[in-house]
Structure 1
Amino acid sequence: MEKYRQIDAKALEDRGRPDGAAARRIFQAEYTGFSKKIIVLDDDPTGTQTVHDVSVYTDWSYESILEGFCEDRNMFFLLTNSRSFSEEKTKQVHREIGERIVRASRETKKDFLVISRGDSTLRGHYPLEMEVLGEALKEYDGRMPDGEILCPFFKEGGRYTIDSVHYVQEKGKLIPAAQTEFAGDATFGYSHSELGEYVEEKSRGRKKSQDCIRITLDMLRGPDLEVPSEKLLEAGGFSTVLVDAVCYEDVEIFCAALLKALKAGKRFLIRSAAAVPKVLGNIADKPLLGREELIKPGSVTAGGTITDAASVPGGIVLAGSHVKKTTVQLERLREADCPLSFLEFNVNTCFQEEGLSAEADRITDRASEEMKKGNTAVVYTSRELFAPAGYSKEELLKASVRISDAVTSVIQKLTVRPRFIIAKGGITSSDVAVKALAIKKAVVMGQIQPGIPVWMTGSESKFPGMPYVIFPGNVGGEDTLKKVVETLSRDSEEQQ
């Protein structure tokens, strides 16, 4: 058992925070003249939870990558959804992406910086994705990056790193990440909260904790701001750099040091949660999105008819995430001050011939009926899967994939255009975006609640111009889902 203990969240206040205006000045001074194209590889759609007015491409074709390079914006996202991939597919995809990025860079004559946006609770294909990207860049660009940077800080979700120990905030406590339910993930579990020990564990000893370069809060807030950049200049041979942060000012000061190191010729890959893309993209804060920006009169129905706001049907919520937080949020949603209809998708129909298809049809019909009445349909999967005796882990995994596809097909089969769509959970939201809505490119509008992004679907999608809310399974308080649904369900006059 690791030695780290839960601590009171007051420790964040005790640490204080750097002067915000000074941190911003330091960052902006280094940002001047920075012209690299920032490419964010998102291992599920929730990584856009801190940005706005940026493009998201749902494939990694050369055409999409080249289009991203040609945009005026300095940043674009590629949705890989690799957290749902096997290790072999992850290797293949990241090798392809590395080669295509280098090719697009040469064609456009623009240099680049790659961020692998991963989970703020440390799940995902680490270090595999970073190693494959590094090797691909070495093969196609002729140079291995000097190092990889790990910065899982994500304030909006209550994820903080102090003295290289990563914490998850829950009810007034900072819990070492390895002691949370996320560390028990069947595919991506881990047992160390100290990032150096985590790196050693996940690399199976290929990388040693003592060899990691640590950039601590004391360095970021010390009198000599050259120290963080000097630490980065020490990197070589694909070193691992671990970064503390408990507020955005820490990230700004670190990113200033990073920009200085890049100007000095260093090259890095970044593995981070959603905070670093926002800062490096120089993306300003934006108020939370309100109903008026998302649900407007003149909506287009599935049949192409213009309707007024009053005739727009209800919305739909699709909940596939099974983490405890989602279950609690669904229970609190029942208390919402708006018309709802809860529809349980029976996952155990997967053990019947054509059972899932019939269940998807049943749920789709019910959801359509409820939306036509102006109600929001809340589709959620039953919480337990009762497998027949003798089912192997591989068979259960295949069953899970079939269930996910069937649940996603509910959106795909809709003939009623919803007022809005909310997908709960990373894999669910990716499958809805790519398979059900057929989104090729979307624009991130902003966030409806902290850490909860909204995409505006493109003209090619099943429902063009639709606000699509991507709600991570592990983000928000108990009543956050309730707040989001109430915001989107009410007409403007009801909110006054």
Structure 2
Amino acid sequence: MTQPKIIVLDDDPTGSQTVHGCLLLTRWDVATLKQGLNDASPLMFVLTNTRGMGAHDAEQITREVCQNLKTAMKGFDRPALFVSRSDSTLRGHYPIETDVMEQELGPFDAHFLTPAFFEGGRFTMDSVHYVRMGDKAVPAHETEFAKDSVFGYKHSFLPDYVEEKTKGRIKSEDVVRFSLDDIRRGCLYKLMALHGNPCCAVDAENQEDYNRFAVDLDAAATQGKRFLFRSAASLLTSLAKLPPQPVPAEEMHKYVKEGRPGVIVVGSHVKKSTEQLEVLLQQEGIAAVEVDVSRLPEQLHAVLSETLDKVAQAHAEGKTPVIYTSRVERQFADHQMRLRFGEHVSGFLMTVVHGLPTTIGYIISKGGITSNDMLSSGLALPTSRLLGQILAGCSVVQTPHDHRLPDIPVVIFPGNVGDQNALAVVYNRLRGK
């Protein structure tokens, strides 16, 4: 059987953090989708950025992508697997996005929750999703991620999480649980028995668990089963079956244009990002450029001028400017106000990107929403080719030859990935240190 095309609707650009060689699409018109479908890679990503939107906009965007996909796939002669890629710490517009995909692309025999992301220390056992923090495995609902003002939740036992998020439409006891024993013994029989789109919670402790699960998924698909996935990145590794990336992570400096200094943009505000920023700012060759977001949007033009002047001066001195937003978390009356303010800040950062010196050697973009805006708005790339990972969970794409910033690597660095030294490690790898 022909290997299925894996079509991923990614709610920010970090879902490609375990694969390489594929296209990332920041537009979803029919022509661009056909380009992705016809590409030789077994998978493609449509970067919807819905995690940075309100529920209504997320639903509308997802529906538009699905409807355009149906048009683009007319005459497409390969089977397809559909993935709603989301955060490995359970944040995002669930079940809105999977509901829309079922309505537009279904019917499906089942949809699966597969949030494990091993490179980031997230795994699922006994249907409980854990986040590794240091040497401890913490149930996800006990972490800072569960307190997210937009996507917060109270349960990390996935059947209870589903009941919470669906407001009781799907009962906890109706969620089909795939245990580690099921996965490791082989679960084809269980997959073949699924119909009517029940929600399934899948255990996975390591990549080999997903590799085994993917074998059974392929076998079920061969026999006509249609499945939808609400997944983090690690399952995609198993589904795509890719060889090692062409250039190892430790040698990514080979992509840096003429060994020049780069620019680092930090938009993420999670605790881990702040800790990584503190270590980065202590590295040799770094110039700190802090953006006081309390002055936005009222003093936008003055702050923009000041920021670009500091960036230009640092670059002229052979240093790498780190453009980062002030770390104090502002309080808002509701999540809509928070989202709007986040859009103001991200829009400002992308305006800074438009004004970067054309002689920089690379860009590091820290934060999921920041990175999506970097590709779609700051760099205005309708498609980009994924080179691979420079660090577990951190992808690298390259700008095209005819771009304003031509042939430079761009690191997509999620907010919640890596230890406190990770951002400094990526910086030093790009320097060849």
Using the size of structure 2 for normalisation, the TM-score is: 0.95
Corresponding letter in the other structure for 2:351? S
User: Residue 123 of structure 1 contacts residue 188 of structure 1 at CA under 8 Å; is this kept in 2?
Assistant: yes
Match status 1:161 vs 2:124: yes
Match of 2:12 in 1: 44
The residue number in structure 2 matching 1:12 is none
- Aligned residue for 2:344, secondary structure, equals helix
- The 2-side partners of 1:48 and 1:260 are apart by 24
C-alpha RMSD of matched pairs (Å)? 1.8
2:89 and 2:329 map into 1 onto residues whose CA distance is 25
Structure 2 Cα separation of the partners of residues 136 and 474 of structure 1: 32
Which range is displaced more, 123-132 or 99-108?
A: 99-108
Q: What residue number does 2:92 align with?
A: 124
Give the deviation of 1:427 after TM superposition. Answer: 0.7
Task: After superposition, give the CA deviation of every residue in 1:38-65 in whole Å (9 maximum; x if it has no partner).
Answer: 1111111111110111111111111111
Partner residue of 2:412? Answer: 470
Measure the CA separation in 1 of the matches of 2:48 and 2:335. 25
Structure 1 stretches of 4+ moved >3 Å: 390-397, 459-462
Q: CA deviation at 1:460?
A: 5.4
Worse-superposed segment, 90-99 or 436-445: 90-99
**Which residue of the partner structure matches residue 73 of structure 1?**
41
What are the Cα deviations for residues 428-459 of structure 1, in whole angstroms up to 9, with x where unaligned?
11111111111111111111111111111224
Aligned amino acid, residue 113 of structure 2: L
* Cα-to-partner distance string for 1:184-241 (whole Å, 9 max, x where unaligned): 111111010011111111000000111111111112223xx2xx11221222211111
User: Is 1:109 matched with 2:77?
Assistant: yes
CA distance in structure 1 between the aligned counterparts of 2:336 and 2:282, rounded to whole angstroms: 39
Q: Tell me how far apart the structure 2 counterparts of residues 273 and 118 of structure 1 sit (CA, whole Å).
A: 5
Unaligned 5+ residue runs, structure 2?
none
Tell me if structure 2 keeps the 8 A contact 1:98–1:133: yes
- Residue in 2 aligned with 1:257? 216
- The 1-side partners of 2:143 and 2:150 are apart by 15
Aligned length: 431
Q: Distance in 2 between matches of 1:393 and 1:276?
A: 31
The question of 1:322 aligning with 2:269 is answered yes
- The 1:209/1:394 distance shift into structure 2, 3 A limit, reads closer
Q: Are 1:483 and 2:425 counterparts?
A: yes
Could you tell me whether the CA contact under 8 Å between 1:376 and 1:489 is conserved in 2?
A: no
User: What percent of counterpart residues are identical?
Assistant: 39
Q: CA deviation at 1:463?
A: 1.4
| Structure 1 position 145 matched with structure 2 position 114 | no
Structure-2 residue corresponding to 1:60 = 28
Give 3-state SS (helix, strand or coil) of 1:427's partner: helix
Q: CA deviation at 1:35?
A: 2.8
Q: Which one has the largest radius of gyration?
A: 1
CA shift digits 1:250-301 (9 cap, x unpaired): 001111111111112111111111111111111123432524432253xxxx
Tell me if the contact between 2:250 and 2:429 (Cα under 8 Å) persists in the aligned partners: no
Q: Tell me by how many angstroms 1:71 deviates.
A: 1.6
Question: In 2, distance between residues paired with 1:109 and 1:428?
Answer: 36
Aligned residue identity for 1:457: T
CA distance in 1 between partners of 2:177 and 2:353 (Å): 46
Unaligned runs of 5+ in 1: 1-32, 139-143, 298-308
Pick one of 344, 352, 370 that aligns with 2:290. 344
Change (3 A) 1:394 1:279: closer
Supply the AA of the counterpart residue of 1:293: K
User: In the aligned structure 1, how far is the partner of 2:15 from the partner of 2:407?
Assistant: 21
Contact 1:425 1:473 in 2 (8 A): yes
